Amino acid sequence: MSATNEFSQISLRVPVTLKENAFAQIKAHGMTPTEVFRDVLEYIVREGKMPVRKEILSDEDAELLVRIKQALADDDEMIDVKPRDLRAALQL
């Protein structure tokens, strides 16, 4: 963060209920919205990436992803999978 005392104000639009619920959670964690937003911005600058990633997964896809990661972690297990079987399993 810059050593100067110059500050900027940020304004954003979010649904009222989202703001109210989020601010309540932020307060419950002993922080202020300003601290949270500043921490997010500092993370982006420091790491060069977003602190969150948007993913939309069905429960089935999430379960499949877990199973794939488990299989990949087990180097001893090799399986043959035909594309048509994979398409059928994924219902594509």
pLDDT tens digits, one per residue of 33-90: 999 999 999 999 999 999 988 878 888 888 888 887 877 777 666 677 788 887 777 6
Q: Which residues contact 14 (CB under 8 A, 6 or more apart)?
A: 22
Q: Which domains does the chain have, with CATH numbers?
A: 1-53 (1.10.1220.10), 59-89 (no CATH)
| 36-49 pLDDT per residue, tens | 999 999 999 999 99
Which of 57, 61, 59 has the alpha carbon at shortest distance from 89?
61
